[in-house]
Structure 1
Amino acid sequence: MHQCDHHHPAPKDFGWAFAVGITLNITFVAVEAAFGWWSDSLALMADAGHNLSDVLGLLMAWAGYALAKLPTSQKRTYGWRGSTILAALFNSLLLMIAVGGIVWEAVSRFSAPPHIQGPVVIVVAIVGVVINSATAMLFMRGSEHDLNLRGAYLHMAADALLSLGVAIAGGIILWTNWWWVDPVTSLIIAAVIFVATWSLMAESFRLAMHAVPANIDSQQVESYLAGLPGVTSVHDLHIWAMSTTEIALTAHLVRPNHDNDDALLNEASETLHHDFKINHMTIQIERSVADADCGQWEEGTL
């Protein structure tokens, strides 16, 4: 059995982004709660509680990010890398709960229109747009390649959108007295958040179940390995996510008549890394399936 070289992408430190984002949001929660108490606005007090859940989401994402950096051990040979997948899944569930809360509140407001607390609510909502947008921007770059960071990004982007909706709806209601604008805007925002969150939840669940990551075509990987010089068949091919940024592969290659396996493994390692973004790979070379007797292969399986 041959353990191919591992390719570790240069890490980008988002610890500072989590620290800044959490600090900004805790400050905003305190300010919003204070203004809610001062203006006797139940809406602001409730929104402060909702924004506190954002802090929880950021803390979970940061915890997963930090745990993934811990070294491996004899009992945890992959370390805590899987914690980023759990954090992404938790954040997607938290966002879905928030969507449910928004829909519930919006529907109830059709029968009981809220009393808008004047310019105070609008100003605080605009501040929320600025803070949540700034926090989301901290994670936008990393969200393209890291599902955990995408969860943090979506959480803050969703809240920025919600705060913007509150500000716009509040202004329209104060100007026109069209009270229905508020719940309708909330339902539209809830639909947008749901669509954006669904893909995050589906992919994080897939990774938690050790499914092949969405950006990997397992048939293409199998075809590539089967086409290597001297390889007659491929079996026990497994591809899964170790974390939200690292992908692992194990495979058995049947290669009856060739001895220079190291050159083949080096070539396979480089191609799998550059073409398929697979970081960790373990390939077993066998002269025949019968001789290997690995006890895993079955006809018709990879």
Structure 2
Amino acid sequence: MLGDLLGSVAALAAGAVIYWTGWTPIDPLLSVLVALIILRSGWYVVKASSHILLEGAPPEVDSREIGPDLVANVSGVEDVHHVHVWAITQERSMVTLHASIEQPTAVDEVVRNIKQRLAERFGLDHATVEVECEGCADAAAEASHGH
């Protein structure tokens, strides 16, 4: 929409310059300028949508900070690993992670506290938390497959 507005303003400006001065190169010069502005804004749209479609991590979240932050700030969490963060839309991100907890009886409370901390500190309102009480099942599976 801004491109259309700029195109109209450029056409009016070019018309006024040509009418008052007779200098006709102003029309293609302003047309190229408007085209460059439209290309630039189009590039940002393509870049942002590609990042989301390729499930890239949101730039405002450093996934390396999540594990240490949860261990330091959520009671009962001993370790956090297999952290994956990606953007679903420009406004919504998602995280999955494994959390080793101290007491298996406090699972619901710990998961609730993890999700609350993720939302408050990192703006991640959609989280899937796999709770581990006796080691990581993925690590055991990887070891048995020789990875």
The verdict on a shared fold, with TM-score over 0.5 as the criterion, is yes
In 1: Cα distance, 2:99 partner to 2:22 partner: 71
Which one of 250, 261, 275 corresponds to residue 96 of structure 2? 250
Aligned to 2:66: 221
Superposition CA RMSD, Å: 2.6
After superposition, the C-alpha distances for 1:227-279 in whole angstroms (9 at most, x for unaligned) are 23333322221112233432221110122446323222222222222332222
Listed as ranges, the gaps of 5+ residues in structure 1 are 1-155
TM-score, normalised relative to structure 1 = 0.42
Richer in helix (by share): 1
Seen in structure 2, the aligned counterparts of structure 1 residues 188 and 202 have a Cα distance that, compared at 3 Å, is: same
1:283, distance to aligned residue in structure 2 (A): 0.5
Which ranges in structure 2 are unaligned for 5 or more consecutive residues? Answer: 143-147
SS of the counterpart of 2:105?
A: coil
Report the 3-state secondary structure (helix = DSSP H, G, I; strand = E; otherwise coil) of the residue aligned with 1:294. helix
Cα distance in 1 between the residues matched to 2:36 and 2:68: 40
Match of 1:187 in 2: 32
Match in the other structure for 2:41:
196
What is the alpha-carbon distance in structure 2 between the residues aligned to residue 197 and residue 274 of structure 1?
33
Aligned to 1:161: 6
C-alpha distance in 1, partners of 2:59/2:94?
A: 14
SS for the counterpart of 1:285 is strand
TM-score w.r.t. the length of structure 2 is 0.79
Match of 2:78 among 210, 219, 232: 232
Summarize the Cα distance change of 1:158–1:220 in structure 2 as closer, same or farther, 3 Å threshold: farther
Find the residue that maps to 2:138 and give its secondary structure.
coil
Q: Percent sequence identity over matched residues?
A: 26
* Bigger share in strand: 2
Residues 77 and 110, structure 2, Cα contact 8 Å, conserved in 1: no
Cα shift at 1:184 = 1.2
Three-state SS of the structure 2 residue aligned to 1:259 is: helix
| Number of equivalenced pairs | 142
Relative distance call for 1:213 and 1:195 in structure 2 (3 A) is same
Contact 1:230 1:256 in 2 (8 A): yes
Closer, same or farther: CA 226–162 of 1 in aligned 2, 3 Å: farther
Are 1:282 and 2:144 an aligned pair? no
- Check whether the contact 1:256–1:288 (CA below 8 A) recurs between aligned residues: no
Q: Specify whether residues 175 and 249 from structure 1 end up closer, same or farther in structure 2 by C-alpha distance, changes over 3 A only.
A: same
Measured in 1, the distance between the counterparts of 2:60 and 2:37 equals: 24
* Equivalence for 1:129: none
Aligned partners of 2:70 and 2:117 also within 8 Å: no
The corresponding residue for 1:260 is 106
Q: Residues 247 and 279 of structure 1 are in contact (CA less than 8 Å); yes or no, is this contact kept in structure 2?
A: yes
Contact conserved, 1:236 with 1:296, CA < 8 A, in 2? no
Aligned position for 1:241: 87
